Structure 1
Amino acid sequence: MHKWIGLLMLTFFSFTAKGQELNCTVKVSFDRITDANPQIFKTLEKSLQDFVNNTRWTTRNFGRSERIDCSMFFNISAYDNNSFTAMLQVASSRSVYNSTYQSPVMNVNDKDIAFRYNEGENLIFNPNSFDSNLVSLVAFYANMIIAMDADTYEKEGGTPYYEAAQNIVSVSQSGGKGWTQQDGLQSRYFLVNDVLSNTYKPFREALYAYHMTAMDKMADNQKEGKEKVIAAITTLSELYKVRPNAFLTRVFFDAKSDEIVAVFSGGPMVSITKLQDMLNRISPMNGAKWGKIK
């Protein structure tokens, strides 16, 4: 009898461990809000944490160890009568093969978001309708996290999840700033539309090459891994030739700049002259960092 109970429990937990794709830490900071009950922000944080981690965003089955480590940081700048104004920082990482190291994949700062939230309300995602700006925002970035992660493992592996994010943009046109073409080249609209465009294909090719052919090889051959990092950045530089100030180039280096410096700051020596010239050309905003590469 005990044996069968144990087997049933094992089957249950094996089943429930599959499904949810994200292992997301959600933080809501409200330091600048001094005239509201702090409980509303704590409730919001827990609601978001549960929503992100308990929603099934794809039809794939993810084992517990496969869940994507990520974070969403909401910095509330204004609050009035259940209306919130905030900045949202979204970041994700993925494991590097044969190591304990987590390589950053995504680091996006959505600087001006607004949404309504009633304390205790259920957050439920419906891909075919716009129900609230908060739900759409979180759903959009959840799909972008999954898509970019998939692109690091398989060439264009993230396409169905980018398309899901693009659909969220389409149904959220009335949701406020960030969802339309008129909201600037660094909006959510252009983030997902650019990544699905053939013009920006070098971004996705570089994302795959950087992780699968470079970082995942570091444990076996660090020198070859470094050379493959340079090759991946060379691929990304092809985008610079057609779109010198591409938003996706910034997205790549916002996640990768510190890691690139660290990769080339120790271990076996490789030629870095071409690398530094290329980095300074395609990502001049990080020039001070590139100067640290030795």
Structure 2
Amino acid sequence: MHKRFPLLLLLAGALILYCRRPAQAQEIRANVSVVAAQVQGVDKKIFTTLQNSIREFLNNRHWANDAFTPAERIECNFLLNVTGTVGSDTYKASLTIQATRPVYNASYVTSLMNIQDNSVVFRYVEFQQLEFSDTRIVGNDPLSSNLTAILAYYVNIILGLDYDSFSPRGGDPYFKKALNIVNNAPDGKEISGWKAFEGNRNRYWLQDNLLNAKFLQFHDVMYQYHRQGLDVMYDDVAKGRATVLNCLNMLYSIHQDIPNSMLMQVFFAAKGEELQKLFAKAMPQERSRAAELLSQMDVPNAQRYQQMK
């Protein structure tokens, strides 16, 4: 039994004797939207069909070995904004992915991921089946396979972050699956986002950071922030907030060694607003320290954090 599950069962309010068994329910509960307002000269029904296909692909496939009950499925949103065509049945798009995790004994959910990928190019013919295999990621057509590879990549990142939040280093198997997708990703002149030299904010760098020993402490942060911080606040707000502040100190040590990393950017995109609210009612010394750290680590939002002081 994975350490993820006892807490989730409590979160669901169910006293269930849980043992490891063949998977009974899928791991992801994804809300999927495909919008194509900017696309001209294409029958818009195609995008409705694509939306349904992506929803089935994400929600009906087993992504993990552990069994998830319906109440344990990870809530997430996938918004595919198709912005144009680049050839016959071939489209360019951006993909926005959001995922959340419940907080113990609360109706509140905390954001695990809120990211936008602007390098999505894919081929899709209406009613074609979306296929993906960990052992043959590129498939028969790189452009058709690129969409499913991207979706599978982000599912594994979501699973990894979720597992990290429930047990120390729990997400490693899924980050390694994401690495496998990156290493074997579809290739082509229109395809981008999978290679280090294509920029410092793409799929390559996110999985690199998550598996890089230099970011080892980040995984401790994910566990302590959620399991020892947010999850204890029902019983002891001050103790939980103190743990979160310690997590900020740990993140700052990473920031000092590796400033402006993609992983830190992704973390604060998900957590920035939450952290501001969390420390708004803290004691002045805690609030000031949090504002100081956040302003240095999340520079684009520094003004927002300075208002906390």
Using the size of structure 2 for normalisation, the TM-score is: 0.86
Match of 1:64 among 63, 67, 70: 70
Residue 42 of structure 2 is matched in structure 1 by 36
Tell me if structure 1 keeps the 8 A contact 2:233–2:241.
yes
SS in 1 for 2:286: coil
Of stretches 149-158 and 171-180 in structure 1, the one that deviates more from structure 2 is 171-180
Tell me if structure 2 keeps the 8 A contact 1:227–1:270.
no
Kindly state the Cα deviation for residue 250 of structure 1 after the two structures are TM-superposed: 0.4
Matches within 5 A, 1:145-224: 145-172=158-185, 174=187, 176-224=191-239
Q: Distance in 2 between matches of 1:18 and 1:198?
A: 35
SS in 2 for 1:78: strand
SS in 1 for 2:164: helix
Q: Distance in 2 between matches of 1:55 and 1:118?
A: 21
Matches within 5 A, 1:1-294: 18-79=24-85, 80-129=87-136, 130-131=138-139, 132-172=145-185, 174=187, 176-266=191-281, 271-294=286-309
SS in 1 for 2:115: strand
Residue 12 of structure 1 is matched in structure 2 by none
Q: Distance in 1 between matches of 2:22 and 2:254?
A: 42
Q: Distance in 2 between matches of 1:161 and 1:135?
A: 16
Counting matched residue pairs gives 280
**Structure 1, gaps ≥5 residues long:** 1-14
SS in 1 for 2:165: helix
Tell me if structure 1 keeps the 8 A contact 2:153–2:181.
yes
Tell me if structure 2 keeps the 8 A contact 1:222–1:268.
no
Kindly state the Cα deviation for residue 18 of structure 1 after the two structures are TM-superposed: 1.9
1:83 maps to a residue whose letter is T
Kindly state the Cα deviation for residue 74 of structure 1 after the two structures are TM-superposed: 0.7
SS in 2 for 1:216: helix
SS in 2 for 1:99: coil
Kindly state the Cα deviation for residue 35 of structure 1 after the two structures are TM-superposed: 2.5
Using the size of structure 1 for normalisation, the TM-score is: 0.91
SS in 2 for 1:190: helix
Identity %: 30
Q: Distance in 2 between matches of 1:269 and 1:291?
A: 13
Tell me if structure 2 keeps the 8 A contact 1:75–1:87.
yes
Kindly state the Cα deviation for residue 16 of structure 1 after the two structures are TM-superposed: 10
Q: Distance in 1 between matches of 2:106 and 2:284?
A: 21
Deviations 1:77-134 (A, max 9, x none): 1035311101111110000001111100111111121111111011121101112101
Tell me if structure 1 keeps the 8 A contact 2:94–2:120.
yes
Q: Distance in 2 between matches of 1:26 and 1:140?
A: 16
Q: Distance in 2 between matches of 1:261 and 1:279?
A: 9
Kindly state the Cα deviation for residue 173 of structure 1 after the two structures are TM-superposed: 5.0
Q: Distance in 1 between matches of 2:304 and 2:51?
A: 34
Q: Distance in 1 between matches of 2:31 and 2:155?
A: 12
Q: Distance in 1 between matches of 2:186 and 2:45?
A: 31
1:160 maps to a residue whose letter is P
RMSD of Structure 2 on Structure 1 (CA): 1.7
Kindly state the Cα deviation for residue 42 of structure 1 after the two structures are TM-superposed: 0.5
